[in-house]
Amino acid sequence: MKKTAINEIHKKLNAKMVDFAGWEMPIQYEDGVIKEHMAVREKVGIFDVSHMGEFEIKGKDALEYIQKLITNDASKLDINQVLYTPMCYENGTIVDDLLCYRIGEKHFYLIINSANHDKDLNWLKSNTEGYELEIVRDISPKMSLFALQGPNAEKTMQKLVDKDMNELKFFRLWLDVDVDGINVDMMSRTGYTGEDGVEIMVKNENAPELWEKIMDAGEEFGIKPCGLGARDTLRLEAKLMLYGNDIDDTTTPVEAALKWTVSMDKDVDFNGKEVIKEQIENGTDRILKGFEMIDRGIPRHNMEIYNENEEKIGYVTSGNYAPYLKKTIGLGYIDRPHHKKGTEIYIDVRGKMKKAKIVKTPFYKKSYKK
Protein backbone atom coordinates (compact mmCIF):
# COMPACT_ATOMS: atom_id res chain seq x y z
CA MET A 1 0.00 0.00 0.00
CA LYS A 2 1.02 3.59 -0.58
CA LYS A 3 1.67 5.69 2.49
CA THR A 4 1.27 9.41 3.05
CA ALA A 5 4.15 11.51 4.35
CA ILE A 6 2.71 11.48 7.87
CA ASN A 7 1.91 7.77 8.06
CA GLU A 8 4.08 7.35 11.16
CA ILE A 9 2.29 10.25 12.90
CA HIS A 10 -1.06 8.52 12.37
CA LYS A 11 0.30 5.36 13.95
CA LYS A 12 1.71 7.26 16.93
CA LEU A 13 -1.78 8.69 17.42
CA ASN A 14 -3.11 5.10 17.52
CA ALA A 15 -5.17 5.54 14.38
CA LYS A 16 -7.01 2.54 12.99
CA MET A 17 -5.44 2.18 9.55
CA VAL A 18 -7.25 0.71 6.54
CA ASP A 19 -6.62 0.12 2.84
CA PHE A 20 -8.37 2.92 0.95
CA ALA A 21 -7.89 2.93 -2.83
CA GLY A 22 -4.45 1.38 -2.35
CA TRP A 23 -3.41 3.81 0.41
CA GLU A 24 -2.89 3.03 4.08
CA MET A 25 -5.16 5.65 5.62
CA PRO A 26 -6.64 6.40 9.08
CA ILE A 27 -10.32 5.51 9.29
CA GLN A 28 -10.52 6.82 12.88
CA TYR A 29 -8.42 7.65 15.93
CA GLU A 30 -8.84 6.72 19.59
CA ASP A 31 -11.83 8.98 20.25
CA GLY A 32 -13.88 7.44 17.44
CA VAL A 33 -15.89 8.71 14.50
CA ILE A 34 -18.68 10.46 16.41
CA LYS A 35 -16.33 12.58 18.53
CA GLU A 36 -14.26 13.45 15.46
CA HIS A 37 -17.42 14.40 13.58
CA MET A 38 -18.62 16.62 16.41
CA ALA A 39 -15.20 18.26 16.76
CA VAL A 40 -15.47 19.43 13.14
CA ARG A 41 -19.04 20.69 13.58
CA GLU A 42 -18.36 22.47 16.88
CA LYS A 43 -14.61 23.15 17.10
CA VAL A 44 -11.95 22.11 14.60
CA GLY A 45 -10.58 18.93 13.05
CA ILE A 46 -7.70 18.12 10.74
CA PHE A 47 -7.66 15.44 8.03
CA ASP A 48 -4.77 13.98 6.09
CA VAL A 49 -6.17 13.74 2.56
CA SER A 50 -2.85 13.29 0.80
CA HIS A 51 -4.25 10.31 -1.08
CA MET A 52 -6.15 12.71 -3.34
CA GLY A 53 -4.76 13.31 -6.82
CA GLU A 54 -3.34 16.65 -7.96
CA PHE A 55 -2.85 17.43 -11.65
CA GLU A 56 -1.28 20.53 -13.21
CA ILE A 57 -2.33 21.91 -16.61
CA LYS A 58 -0.56 24.82 -18.26
CA GLY A 59 -0.24 26.26 -21.76
CA LYS A 60 -1.69 28.47 -24.46
CA ASP A 61 -4.88 26.38 -24.79
CA ALA A 62 -5.20 25.37 -21.13
CA LEU A 63 -8.55 27.12 -20.63
CA GLU A 64 -10.11 25.70 -23.81
CA TYR A 65 -8.83 22.25 -22.86
CA ILE A 66 -10.28 22.47 -19.35
CA GLN A 67 -13.57 23.75 -20.81
CA LYS A 68 -13.89 20.63 -22.98
CA LEU A 69 -13.26 18.33 -20.02
CA ILE A 70 -15.63 19.84 -17.44
CA THR A 71 -19.32 20.75 -17.41
CA ASN A 72 -18.91 23.93 -15.34
CA ASP A 73 -17.49 27.17 -16.77
CA ALA A 74 -13.83 27.76 -15.91
CA SER A 75 -13.78 30.97 -17.97
CA LYS A 76 -15.73 32.66 -15.17
CA LEU A 77 -12.95 31.98 -12.68
CA ASP A 78 -10.79 34.86 -11.52
CA ILE A 79 -7.13 34.14 -10.88
CA ASN A 80 -6.91 32.38 -7.50
CA GLN A 81 -10.50 31.15 -7.60
CA VAL A 82 -11.86 27.59 -7.38
CA LEU A 83 -14.92 25.79 -8.74
CA TYR A 84 -16.53 22.40 -8.24
CA THR A 85 -17.44 20.45 -11.36
CA PRO A 86 -18.11 17.05 -12.83
CA MET A 87 -15.91 15.79 -15.65
CA CYS A 88 -17.87 13.69 -18.15
CA TYR A 89 -17.50 11.16 -20.91
CA GLU A 90 -19.02 11.78 -24.35
CA ASN A 91 -22.15 9.87 -23.27
CA GLY A 92 -22.76 12.33 -20.42
CA THR A 93 -21.84 10.01 -17.55
CA ILE A 94 -19.33 11.12 -14.94
CA VAL A 95 -15.61 10.34 -15.11
CA ASP A 96 -15.08 12.09 -11.77
CA ASP A 97 -16.06 15.14 -9.77
CA LEU A 98 -13.25 17.53 -8.94
CA LEU A 99 -12.10 20.97 -7.89
CA CYS A 100 -10.60 23.20 -10.57
CA TYR A 101 -8.18 25.89 -9.38
CA ARG A 102 -7.24 28.78 -11.65
CA ILE A 103 -3.77 29.88 -10.60
CA GLY A 104 -2.97 31.87 -13.75
CA GLU A 105 -4.58 32.96 -17.02
CA LYS A 106 -3.39 29.72 -18.66
CA HIS A 107 -2.49 27.71 -15.56
CA PHE A 108 -4.76 25.35 -13.58
CA TYR A 109 -4.69 22.68 -10.90
CA LEU A 110 -7.24 19.87 -10.68
CA ILE A 111 -7.75 17.94 -7.44
CA ILE A 112 -9.44 14.59 -8.06
CA ASN A 113 -10.55 11.50 -6.15
CA SER A 114 -7.77 9.10 -5.25
CA ALA A 115 -9.61 5.99 -6.45
CA ASN A 116 -9.88 7.57 -9.91
CA HIS A 117 -6.26 8.72 -10.17
CA ASP A 118 -5.05 6.53 -13.03
CA LYS A 119 -8.35 6.63 -14.91
CA ASP A 120 -8.52 10.43 -14.69
CA LEU A 121 -4.93 10.93 -15.78
CA ASN A 122 -5.45 8.67 -18.78
CA TRP A 123 -8.65 10.55 -19.64
CA LEU A 124 -6.87 13.91 -19.48
CA LYS A 125 -4.10 12.67 -21.74
CA SER A 126 -6.53 11.13 -24.23
CA ASN A 127 -8.21 14.52 -24.69
CA THR A 128 -5.12 16.62 -25.46
CA GLU A 129 -5.16 16.27 -29.25
CA GLY A 130 -5.51 19.63 -30.99
CA TYR A 131 -4.55 21.69 -27.93
CA GLU A 132 -1.31 23.60 -27.44
CA LEU A 133 -0.26 22.66 -23.90
CA GLU A 134 3.06 22.89 -22.07
CA ILE A 135 2.11 20.74 -19.10
CA VAL A 136 -0.45 18.02 -18.36
CA ARG A 137 1.15 16.26 -15.43
CA ASP A 138 0.55 14.48 -12.17
CA ILE A 139 2.09 16.34 -9.22
CA SER A 140 0.52 14.03 -6.61
CA PRO A 141 3.66 12.03 -5.71
CA LYS A 142 5.47 15.06 -4.30
CA MET A 143 2.51 16.73 -2.57
CA SER A 144 0.63 16.28 0.69
CA LEU A 145 -2.83 17.68 1.32
CA PHE A 146 -4.38 18.55 4.70
CA ALA A 147 -7.93 19.71 5.38
CA LEU A 148 -8.49 21.89 8.45
CA GLN A 149 -12.23 22.12 9.01
CA GLY A 150 -14.63 23.60 11.55
CA PRO A 151 -15.70 26.87 13.21
CA ASN A 152 -12.23 27.31 14.75
CA ALA A 153 -10.25 26.51 11.61
CA GLU A 154 -9.68 30.18 10.79
CA LYS A 155 -8.55 30.98 14.35
CA THR A 156 -6.14 28.05 14.25
CA MET A 157 -4.53 29.13 10.97
CA GLN A 158 -4.44 32.78 12.00
CA LYS A 159 -1.91 31.86 14.69
CA LEU A 160 0.44 30.57 11.98
CA VAL A 161 0.18 33.08 9.13
CA ASP A 162 0.88 36.81 8.87
CA LYS A 163 -1.94 37.41 6.38
CA ASP A 164 -5.48 38.20 7.54
CA MET A 165 -7.28 34.86 7.21
CA ASN A 166 -10.58 36.74 6.92
CA GLU A 167 -9.42 37.92 3.49
CA LEU A 168 -9.31 34.36 2.14
CA LYS A 169 -12.90 34.04 0.96
CA PHE A 170 -14.97 30.96 0.13
CA PHE A 171 -13.61 29.03 -2.89
CA ARG A 172 -10.60 31.36 -3.19
CA LEU A 173 -6.94 30.43 -2.82
CA TRP A 174 -3.52 31.77 -1.88
CA LEU A 175 -0.26 30.55 -3.40
CA ASP A 176 3.12 30.31 -1.64
CA VAL A 177 1.95 31.03 1.89
CA ASP A 178 4.39 31.22 4.81
CA VAL A 179 2.94 29.11 7.61
CA ASP A 180 5.16 29.68 10.63
CA GLY A 181 8.28 29.35 8.51
CA ILE A 182 7.01 26.57 6.24
CA ASN A 183 6.30 27.35 2.60
CA VAL A 184 2.85 26.09 1.67
CA ASP A 185 2.30 25.76 -2.08
CA MET A 186 -1.44 26.45 -1.92
CA MET A 187 -4.10 27.22 0.67
CA SER A 188 -7.76 27.34 -0.37
CA ARG A 189 -11.01 28.05 1.46
CA THR A 190 -12.53 24.74 0.51
CA GLY A 191 -13.47 21.46 2.14
CA TYR A 192 -15.60 18.34 2.09
CA THR A 193 -17.43 18.62 5.40
CA GLY A 194 -20.02 21.38 5.05
CA GLU A 195 -17.98 23.52 7.45
CA ASP A 196 -15.76 26.54 7.05
CA GLY A 197 -12.10 25.68 6.73
CA VAL A 198 -9.04 25.46 4.53
CA GLU A 199 -7.26 22.84 2.48
CA ILE A 200 -3.48 23.07 2.39
CA MET A 201 -1.17 21.64 -0.26
CA VAL A 202 2.45 21.29 0.82
CA LYS A 203 5.50 19.38 -0.35
CA ASN A 204 5.91 15.98 1.28
CA GLU A 205 9.18 16.88 3.03
CA ASN A 206 7.42 19.71 4.92
CA ALA A 207 4.22 17.81 5.72
CA PRO A 208 5.12 16.25 9.12
CA GLU A 209 6.33 19.57 10.55
CA LEU A 210 3.27 21.41 9.19
CA TRP A 211 0.88 18.84 10.71
CA GLU A 212 2.52 19.23 14.12
CA LYS A 213 2.43 23.03 13.94
CA ILE A 214 -1.28 23.01 13.08
CA MET A 215 -2.02 20.54 15.88
CA ASP A 216 -0.15 22.73 18.37
CA ALA A 217 -1.89 25.90 17.17
CA GLY A 218 -5.30 24.25 17.38
CA GLU A 219 -4.88 22.75 20.82
CA GLU A 220 -6.54 25.70 22.58
CA PHE A 221 -9.47 25.45 20.17
CA GLY A 222 -10.10 21.74 20.75
CA ILE A 223 -8.54 20.36 17.58
CA LYS A 224 -8.78 16.64 16.85
CA PRO A 225 -7.18 14.54 14.13
CA CYS A 226 -9.97 13.05 12.04
CA GLY A 227 -10.12 9.99 9.82
CA LEU A 228 -12.01 8.90 6.74
CA GLY A 229 -14.95 7.67 8.83
CA ALA A 230 -15.82 11.16 10.07
CA ARG A 231 -15.06 12.60 6.64
CA ASP A 232 -17.78 10.37 5.21
CA THR A 233 -20.46 11.18 7.80
CA LEU A 234 -19.69 14.91 7.55
CA ARG A 235 -19.92 15.00 3.76
CA LEU A 236 -23.17 13.00 3.86
CA GLU A 237 -24.81 15.51 6.23
CA ALA A 238 -23.81 18.25 3.78
CA LYS A 239 -24.95 16.16 0.76
CA LEU A 240 -21.57 16.23 -0.90
CA MET A 241 -21.05 13.58 -3.57
CA LEU A 242 -18.93 10.48 -3.08
CA TYR A 243 -17.69 9.06 -6.36
CA GLY A 244 -18.32 5.34 -6.60
CA ASN A 245 -21.41 5.68 -4.41
CA ASP A 246 -23.58 8.67 -5.36
CA ILE A 247 -22.07 9.28 -8.79
CA ASP A 248 -20.12 7.10 -11.21
CA ASP A 249 -19.77 6.25 -14.88
CA THR A 250 -23.43 5.18 -15.06
CA THR A 251 -24.88 8.47 -13.77
CA THR A 252 -25.10 11.94 -15.31
CA PRO A 253 -24.92 15.34 -13.59
CA VAL A 254 -28.65 15.87 -14.25
CA GLU A 255 -29.61 12.57 -12.63
CA ALA A 256 -27.32 13.39 -9.69
CA ALA A 257 -29.09 16.73 -9.09
CA LEU A 258 -25.91 18.54 -10.16
CA LYS A 259 -27.55 20.54 -12.94
CA TRP A 260 -26.23 23.69 -11.23
CA THR A 261 -22.71 22.59 -12.20
CA VAL A 262 -23.54 22.48 -15.91
CA SER A 263 -22.97 25.58 -18.03
CA MET A 264 -24.76 25.10 -21.34
CA ASP A 265 -23.88 28.55 -22.67
CA LYS A 266 -20.08 28.39 -22.52
CA ASP A 267 -18.19 28.72 -25.80
CA VAL A 268 -16.66 25.22 -25.81
CA ASP A 269 -18.72 22.08 -26.47
CA PHE A 270 -17.80 19.97 -23.45
CA ASN A 271 -17.82 16.17 -23.44
CA GLY A 272 -21.35 14.86 -23.03
CA LYS A 273 -23.05 18.16 -23.83
CA GLU A 274 -25.72 16.81 -26.18
CA VAL A 275 -26.86 14.06 -23.81
CA ILE A 276 -26.90 16.44 -20.84
CA LYS A 277 -28.76 19.10 -22.85
CA GLU A 278 -31.45 16.57 -23.78
CA GLN A 279 -31.84 15.54 -20.13
CA ILE A 280 -32.11 19.15 -18.95
CA GLU A 281 -34.80 19.84 -21.54
CA ASN A 282 -36.79 16.62 -21.20
CA GLY A 283 -35.99 15.37 -17.72
CA THR A 284 -34.65 12.03 -16.51
CA ASP A 285 -36.32 8.83 -15.37
CA ARG A 286 -34.59 9.00 -11.99
CA ILE A 287 -32.96 11.57 -9.73
CA LEU A 288 -30.75 11.54 -6.63
CA LYS A 289 -32.74 12.47 -3.54
CA GLY A 290 -32.14 12.62 0.19
CA PHE A 291 -34.17 10.69 2.72
CA GLU A 292 -34.50 10.37 6.48
CA MET A 293 -35.21 7.08 8.21
CA ILE A 294 -38.47 6.76 10.13
CA ASP A 295 -37.91 3.16 11.25
CA ARG A 296 -34.71 2.01 12.91
CA GLY A 297 -32.13 0.72 10.47
CA ILE A 298 -29.02 1.85 8.61
CA PRO A 299 -29.39 2.19 4.84
CA ARG A 300 -26.30 1.05 2.95
CA HIS A 301 -25.01 1.37 -0.59
CA ASN A 302 -27.02 -0.61 -3.17
CA MET A 303 -29.92 -1.47 -0.83
CA GLU A 304 -33.16 -1.46 -2.82
CA ILE A 305 -35.90 1.16 -2.38
CA TYR A 306 -39.63 0.38 -2.76
CA ASN A 307 -42.89 2.29 -2.73
CA GLU A 308 -45.93 1.50 -0.58
CA ASN A 309 -47.12 -0.99 -3.20
CA GLU A 310 -43.88 -2.97 -2.85
CA GLU A 311 -42.69 -1.89 -6.30
CA LYS A 312 -38.97 -1.27 -6.66
CA ILE A 313 -38.39 2.44 -7.35
CA GLY A 314 -34.67 2.91 -6.74
CA TYR A 315 -31.60 2.12 -4.71
CA VAL A 316 -29.51 3.63 -1.92
CA THR A 317 -26.19 5.24 -2.80
CA SER A 318 -25.08 6.39 0.68
CA GLY A 319 -26.49 6.07 4.16
CA ASN A 320 -25.40 6.42 7.77
CA TYR A 321 -26.22 7.77 11.20
CA ALA A 322 -25.66 11.55 11.19
CA PRO A 323 -24.02 12.39 14.55
CA TYR A 324 -24.71 16.14 14.53
CA LEU A 325 -28.31 15.81 13.33
CA LYS A 326 -28.93 12.74 15.50
CA LYS A 327 -30.83 11.12 12.65
CA THR A 328 -30.22 8.33 10.18
CA ILE A 329 -30.06 9.71 6.67
CA GLY A 330 -29.25 8.63 3.16
CA LEU A 331 -29.14 9.37 -0.54
CA GLY A 332 -30.54 7.31 -3.36
CA TYR A 333 -31.70 7.31 -6.94
CA ILE A 334 -35.49 7.44 -7.00
CA ASP A 335 -37.63 6.83 -10.07
CA ARG A 336 -39.98 9.63 -11.02
CA PRO A 337 -42.72 10.37 -9.98
CA HIS A 338 -41.87 8.89 -6.56
CA HIS A 339 -39.18 11.50 -5.85
CA LYS A 340 -41.21 14.30 -4.28
CA LYS A 341 -40.46 15.72 -0.83
CA GLY A 342 -42.49 14.03 1.90
CA THR A 343 -43.04 10.80 -0.05
CA GLU A 344 -42.73 7.73 2.14
CA ILE A 345 -40.43 5.03 0.82
CA TYR A 346 -39.34 1.62 2.06
CA ILE A 347 -35.76 0.36 2.13
CA ASP A 348 -34.89 -3.31 2.13
CA VAL A 349 -32.46 -3.46 5.06
CA ARG A 350 -31.23 -7.04 5.20
CA GLY A 351 -34.60 -8.50 4.24
CA LYS A 352 -36.77 -6.17 6.34
CA MET A 353 -38.68 -3.21 4.91
CA LYS A 354 -37.77 -0.05 6.82
CA LYS A 355 -39.81 3.11 6.35
CA ALA A 356 -38.19 6.42 5.39
CA LYS A 357 -39.31 9.70 3.82
CA ILE A 358 -37.83 11.94 1.15
CA VAL A 359 -36.60 15.25 2.57
CA LYS A 360 -35.04 18.49 1.41
CA THR A 361 -31.25 18.52 1.10
CA PRO A 362 -28.60 19.34 2.11
CA PHE A 363 -29.44 17.83 5.46
CA TYR A 364 -27.02 20.28 7.09
CA LYS A 365 -26.08 23.71 5.71
CA LYS A 366 -23.86 26.43 7.09
CA SER A 367 -23.32 29.99 5.87
CA TYR A 368 -19.90 30.73 4.36
CA LYS A 369 -17.74 33.77 3.86
CA LYS A 370 -18.41 35.06 0.33
Give per-residue pLDDT as tens, 148-205. 999 999 999 999 999 999 999 999 999 999 999 999 999 999 999 999 999 999 999 9
Residues 290 and 181 in one domain: no
User: Residue 183 domain-assigned?
Assistant: yes
Q: Residues 7-32: pLDDT tens digits?
A: 999 999 999 999 999 999 999 999 99
Residue 148 maps to which CATH number? 3.30.1360.120
pLDDT band at 366 (very low <50, low <70, confident <90, very high): confident
Whether 103 is covered by a domain: the verdict is: no
DSSP secondary structure letters along 140-199: GGGEEEEEEESTTHHHHHHTT-SS-GGGS-TTBEEEEEEETTEEEEEEES--SSSS-EEE
Structural domain ending residue among the three candidates 237, 253, 271: 237
Question: Is residue 252 assigned to a domain?
Answer: no
Residue 37 lies in a domain: yes
| Residue 313 shares a structural domain with residue 207 | no
Q: Please give the pLDDT value at position 369.
A: 44
Residue 338 lies in a domain: yes
Cβ neighbours of 224 (radius 10 Å)? 23
- The mean pLDDT of 255-282, rounded to a whole number, is 97
pLDDT above 70 covers what percent of the chain?
A: 99
In a shared domain, residues 213 and 293? no
Instruction: Determine the pLDDT at residue 354.
Output: 98
- Average pLDDT value over all residues in the chain: 97
- Sequence-ordered list of residues with C-beta below 8 angstroms from that of 94, at least 6 positions apart, any chain: 86, 87, 88, 243, 247, 248, 249, 251, 252, 253, 256
Q: How many CB atoms lie within 10 A of CB 125?
A: 12
291: containing domain: 285-359
Mean pLDDT of 76-93: 98
Per-residue pLDDT for 368 more than 60?
A: no
Predicted local distance difference test score (pLDDT) of residue 370: 40
We report the CATH number of the domain holding residue 313 as 2.40.30.110
- Residue 347 falls inside a structural domain: yes
Q: Which of 237, 268, 297 is the last residue of a domain?
A: 237
Q: How many domains does the chain have?
A: 2
| Distance linking the first and last C-alpha atoms of the chain | 40
Asked if 231 and 146 sit in the same domain, the reply is: yes
* pTM of the predicted structure, to 2 decimals: 0.96
Task: Give the per-residue pLDDT at 367.
Answer: 58
Does 149 lie in the same domain as 13?
A: yes
Within the chain, residue ranges assigned H as helices are 7-12, 33-42, 62-69, 117-126, 153-158, 207-218, 228-237, 273-282
Q: With contact defined as beta carbons under 8 Å apart, do 236 and 329 qualify? A: yes
Give the mean model confidence (pLDDT) for residues 207-213: 98
- Does position 225 have pLDDT exceeding 70, yes or no? yes
In whole angstroms, how far apart are CA 331 and each of 68, 124, 236, 253, 289? 29, 30, 8, 15, 6
Q: Is residue 59 part of a domain?
A: no
Given this model, what pLDDT does residue 361 score? 97
Residues 146 and 31 in one domain: yes
Does 20 fall in a domain? yes
Instruction: Give 39-63 pLDDT, tens digit per residue.
Output: 999 999 999 999 999 999 999 999 9
On whether both 180 and 32 belong to a single domain, the answer is: yes
